[in-house]
């Protein structure tokens, strides 16, 4: 951020903010301000509130949400309302037909069986790993073949057929 001084505009409930407005998060480190930092950190943690401020970053004014995160204070830049797409403006979404009760019921059962706790450690960037392997391989003067296999398209099935098959396979 362009300034070392944080001037908080107002406080709001953190969960009042729609996460679609979040852009980038920066860790704030106290700079000769350990005591005020610790106090603000504790207030944000205890109250569940976040502070709003406006800062200039590079050549653009940004709204920034100052909030508690893992025993620290972070600043999350936010998009302006005109930078977030409103899905209701798309006919393809507005004109979707409603699912039937049988399909809906079956899909809810499938989703219930597939619902688990989130563990982001299970996910990794396979593309980055392939690039690193390619670089390592080329450094050893070997030529690595990095191929993306295109998935074959399955034969078209009805929604009910697919839901039944998924329900059966998740038993």
Residues in the chain: 171
**Is the per-residue pLDDT at 2 higher than 50?**
no
Percent above pLDDT 70 for the chain: 85
Domain that holds residue 29: 10-83
The pLDDT tens digits for 125-159 are 888 888 888 887 777 755 445 555 666 666 666 76
Give yes or no: residues 51 and 28 share one domain: yes
Last residue of a domain, one of 83, 108, 139: 83
The answer to the question of residue 14 being in a domain is yes
The answer to the question of residue 3 being in a domain is no
Give yes or no: residues 117 and 76 share one domain: no
- Among the ranges given (39-53, 62-76, 108-122, 152-166), the one the predictor scored with the smallest mean pLDDT: 152-166
Answer whether 53's CB lies under 8 Å from 8's CB: yes
Burial class (CB in 10 A: 0-12, 13-18, 19+), 51: buried
* Segment 58-75 mean pLDDT: 91
Give yes or no: residues 45 and 103 share one domain: no
Long-range contacts of 35-39 (CB under 8 A, 24+ apart): 37/73
Percent above pLDDT 90 for the chain: 36
Give yes or no: residues 98 and 170 share one domain: yes
Give yes or no: residues 116 and 63 share one domain: no
Task: Give the whole-angstrom CA distance, residue 123 versus residue 125.
Answer: 7
What average pLDDT does the chain have?
A: 83
Give yes or no: residues 38 and 103 share one domain: no
Give yes or no: residues 100 and 167 share one domain: yes
The answer to the question of residue 34 being in a domain is yes
Give yes or no: residues 99 and 170 share one domain: yes
Q: How many CB atoms lie within 10 A of CB 166?
A: 16
Give yes or no: residues 79 and 104 share one domain: no
Give yes or no: residues 169 and 105 share one domain: yes
The answer to the question of residue 145 being in a domain is no
CATH of the domain at 74: 2.40.290.10
The answer to the question of residue 89 being in a domain is no
DSSP tag of 145: -
When divided into structural domains, the chain yields a total of 2
Give yes or no: residues 104 and 49 share one domain: no
Give yes or no: residues 55 and 14 share one domain: yes
């Amino acid at each position: 951020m362009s300034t070392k001084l944080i001037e908080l505009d107002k406080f709001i409930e953190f969960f009042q903010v729609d996460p679609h407005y979040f852009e980038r998060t920066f860790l704030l480190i106290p700079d000769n301000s350990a005591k005020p930092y610790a106090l603000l950190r504790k207030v944000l943690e205890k109250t569940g509130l976040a502070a709003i401020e406006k800062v200039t970053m590079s050549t653009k004014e940004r709204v920034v949400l100052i909030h508690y995160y893992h025993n620290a204070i972070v600043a999350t830049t936010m998009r302006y309302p005109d930078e977030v797409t409103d899905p209701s403006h798309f006919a393809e979404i507005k004109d979707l037909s409603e699912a039937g009760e049988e399909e809906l019921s079956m899909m809810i059962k499938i989703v219930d069986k597939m619902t688990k706790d989130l563990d982001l450690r299970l996910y990794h960037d396979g593309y980055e790993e392939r690039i690193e392997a390619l670089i390592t391989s080329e450094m050893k003067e070997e030529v690595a073949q990095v191929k993306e296999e295109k998935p074959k398209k399955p034969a078209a099935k009805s929604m009910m057929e697919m839901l039944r098959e998924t329900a059966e396979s998740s038993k």
